[in-house]
């Protein structure tokens, strides 16, 4: 990782606050059930004291046992509260995970279409890994914190009831622990952040080294790669050790704060009992509060605030950096057009400044309403040209225009009213048949959908699925050819004037392919077909043969007579 973006934990916590705000009811339910779960803490010491003083020491065994049974009943109710708290807790945590991943994917896609923004797969990969860790940490935080805070309050209240002096010592010890946590939070957070970034750097270096191991060995760079990897390992180890030293200091403070009230109680117990300040039952009840509730509550709060909470803050901040929107969002295109004439002027395209040119100086004019077929060997740039025509890619040089308007300036508000591109991989989603067919034109009528299905040959499929109201519960219920029929209907009813079919019929029977292509041509639209079969070229108005980055253009017969490569492609197709 060459650049480390500054982290802003406060911004990350706002992501959590937004999710919590949408789940207010779940939070209220969680708090109420947590109160019930922590209830036994409030009465534990008092019931133990009463059982001893009023029951066992007073010679009343039944009263003592009855009070202890009452304590056991509160524990059962606490268990019920813990059980019921699981559902609202899961709703909050899982919703947060979904929100974070969705935000990151949207932001990554938004940056991907803005010139100058660097985007790679590590954004989504990183946020997926961090979100899974965050989900576990957040579950622990809410599980522990919701009971620890109530338990601490209930313990202090119970101690003030039984033994006020011990309660004051407990309050002082709790304040000391909280002050130490607050004063060391910044340093702890910076060390956790350093460890996290060191882990990401080590992961990136290790991945790059292992993926490129063959090249590393081939160029004799094994020693350099080993040195780089060793340096990152050492850096990560030092960062983790710094975190460990802070943890050790916090554990010492916690031990002092949690044990001090108990030590004070034990040291003063003889005098307190003999002077009548505390009864034996109150002494045992206070010890029950301190050992059974205060110590675990303080440990939980230290763990949550001083460990889990700060880790969550760092992870949220890191995810926020992954989910950042473009620094300078690209202005929304607003140009519109109603025609269908496409023109490429001196178009050059390469995937990078030093990469080999896929298209070089391409000039091509496609008339409105023309059926144009693009053919060529594998890797000749056919799909690249389709992406350029649809505006998904931008040429390194030159222009692509639709009716004189640069394709990049066309209004992209959904539904896309200029150009529809159908790739080979057909996209079908879970939902009704109608929803899938009307995806690019939600206002289309059932009658128009029926005519479109009949035109492209999808009527039998729709009927077999139960009509427009039929369900597609999972995309894998359809074959690849059936998926392509669905997307063909989708494009047919779209409002666009240009349709680009990038091998969008390759899984159909040749006769069904012909029927679909003829149906689009009959609408008067401009149809550009990246051909899977040469039979598509035989039906075209014109054919573009791409090879070596440049096109040969003509009718099927003209290219067959003038281009040996085209003649070979036709001959190979006939033989196969």
What's the pLDDT score for residue 134? 76
Do 286 and 166 touch, CB atoms closer than 8 A?
Answer: yes
What's the pLDDT score for residue 114? 60
Calpha distance 392→19 (Å, rounded): 33
What's the pLDDT score for residue 566? 87
Which of 304, 300, 322, 323 minimizes the C-alpha distance to 312?
A: 304
Calpha distance 343→365 (Å, rounded): 4
Give CB contacts under 8 A, 24+ apart, made by 242-249: 242/191, 242/194, 242/195, 243/188, 243/191, 243/192, 243/195, 246/184, 246/187, 246/188, 246/191, 247/307, 249/184
What's the pLDDT score for residue 1? 35
Average pLDDT over residues 158-177: 82
pLDDT at 429 over 80: yes
For the stretch 372-400, what's the b/e string if a residue is b when 16 or more beta carbons lie within 10 angstroms of its beta carbon?
bbbbbeeebbbbbbbbbbbbbbbbbebeb
* Mean pLDDT score across all residues of the chain: 81
Do 368 and 309 touch, CB atoms closer than 8 A?
Answer: no
pLDDT at 113 over 80: no
Which of 53, 133, 79 minimizes the C-alpha distance to 312?
A: 133
> Which helix H or strand E contains 400, and what residues bound it?
strand 397-402
Residues 41-69 pLDDT 10s? 888 888 888 888 888 888 889 988 998 89
Phi, psi of 480 (to 5 degrees): -60, -40
What's the pLDDT score for residue 221? 73
Calpha distance 288→151 (Å, rounded): 13
pLDDT at 190 over 80: no
Confidence of residue 513 (pLDDT cuts 50, 70, 90): very high
What's the pLDDT score for residue 512? 93
Angle among Cα 148, 149, 150 to the nearest 5 degrees reads 95
Q: For residue 313, give the 3-state DSSP assignment.
A: helix
Do 242 and 184 touch, CB atoms closer than 8 A?
Answer: no
- For a pLDDT cut of 90, what percent of the chain falls above it? 23
Do 116 and 330 touch, CB atoms closer than 8 A?
Answer: no
Residues 8-39 pLDDT 10s? 444 456 666 777 777 788 888 888 888 888 88
Question: Could you give the domains of the chain?
Answer: 9-322 (1.20.1560.10), 342-575 (3.40.50.300)
- CA 257, 258, 261, 262 dihedral sign is negative
Q: How many helices (H) and strands (E) does the chain have?
A: 20, 12
Residues 311-341 pLDDT 10s? 677 677 767 766 666 665 555 555 555 678 8
Which of 240, 242, 246, 137 minimizes the C-alpha distance to 183?
A: 246
């Amino acid at each position: 990782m060459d650049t480390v973006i500054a982290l802003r934990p406060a911004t990350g916590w706002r992501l959590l606050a937004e999710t919590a705000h949408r789940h207010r009811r779940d939070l209220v339910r969680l708090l109420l059930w947590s109160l019930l779960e922590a209830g036994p803490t409030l009465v534990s010491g008092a019931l133990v004291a009463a059982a001893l003083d009023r029951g066992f020491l007073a010679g009343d065994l039944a009263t003592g046992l009855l009070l202890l049974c009452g304590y056991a009943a509160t524990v059962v109710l606490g268990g019920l509260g813990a059980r019921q708290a699981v559902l609202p807790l899961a709703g909050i945590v899982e919703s947060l995970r979904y929100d974070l991943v969705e935000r990151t994917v949207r932001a990554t896609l938004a940056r991907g279409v803005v010139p100058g923004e660097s985007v790679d797969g590590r954004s989504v990969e990183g946020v997926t890994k961090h979100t899974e860790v965050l989900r576990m940490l957040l579950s622990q935080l809410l599980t522990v914190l919701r009971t620890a805070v109530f338990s601490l309050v209930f313990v202090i209240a119970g101690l003030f009831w039984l033994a006020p002096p011990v309660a004051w010592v407990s309050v002082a010890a709790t304040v000391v622990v909280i002050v130490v946590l607050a004063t060391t939070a910044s340093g702890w957070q910076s060390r956790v952040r350093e460890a996290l970034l060191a882990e990401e750097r080590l992961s990136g270096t290790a991945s790059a080294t292992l993926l490129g191991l063959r090249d590393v060995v081939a160029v004799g760079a094994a020693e350099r790669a080993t040195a780089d990897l060793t340096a990152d390992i050492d850096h990560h180890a030092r960062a983790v050790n710094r975190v460990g030293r802070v943890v050790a200091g916090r554990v010492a403070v916690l031990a002092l704060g949690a044990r001090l009230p108990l030590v004070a109680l034990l040291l003063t117990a003889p005098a307190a009992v003999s002077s009548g300040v505390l009864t034996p039952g109150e002494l045992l009840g206070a010890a029950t509060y301190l050992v059974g509730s205060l110590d675990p509550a303080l440990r939980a709060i230290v763990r949550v605030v001083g460990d889990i909470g700060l880790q969550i803050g760092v992870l949220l901040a890191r995810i926020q950096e992954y989910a950042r929107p473009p620094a300078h969002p690209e202005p929304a295109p607003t140009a519109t057009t109603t025609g269908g004439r496409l023109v490429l002027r001196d178009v050059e395209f390469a995937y990078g400044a030093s990469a080999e040119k896929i298209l070089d100086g391409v000039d091509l004019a496609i008339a409105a309403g023309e059926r144009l077929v693009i053919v060529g060997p594998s890797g000749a740039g056919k799909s690249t040209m389709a992406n350029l025509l649809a505006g998904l890619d931008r040429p390194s040089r030159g222009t692509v225009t639709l009716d004189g308007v640069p394709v990049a300036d066309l209004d992209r508000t959904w539904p896309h009213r200029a150009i529809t591109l159908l790739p080979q991989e057909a996209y079908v989603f879970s939902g009704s048949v109608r929803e899938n067919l009307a995806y690019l034109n939600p206002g289309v009528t059932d009658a128009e959908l029926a005519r479109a299905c009949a035109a492209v040959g999808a009527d039998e499929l729709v009927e077999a699925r139960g009509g427009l109201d039929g369900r597609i519960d999972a995309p894998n219920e359809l074959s690849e050819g059936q998926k392509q029929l669905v997307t063909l209907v989708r494009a047919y009813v779209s409002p666009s004037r240009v349709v680009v079919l990038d091998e969008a019929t390759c899984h159909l029977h040749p006769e069904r392919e012909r029927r679909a292509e003829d149906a689009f041509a009959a609408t008067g639209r401009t149809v550009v077909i990246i051909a899977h079969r040469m039979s598509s070229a035989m039906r075209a108005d014109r054919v573009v043969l791409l090879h070596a980055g440049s096109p040969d253009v003509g009718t099927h017969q003209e290219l067959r007579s003038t281009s040996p490569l085209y003649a070979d492609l036709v001959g190979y197709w006939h033989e196969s």
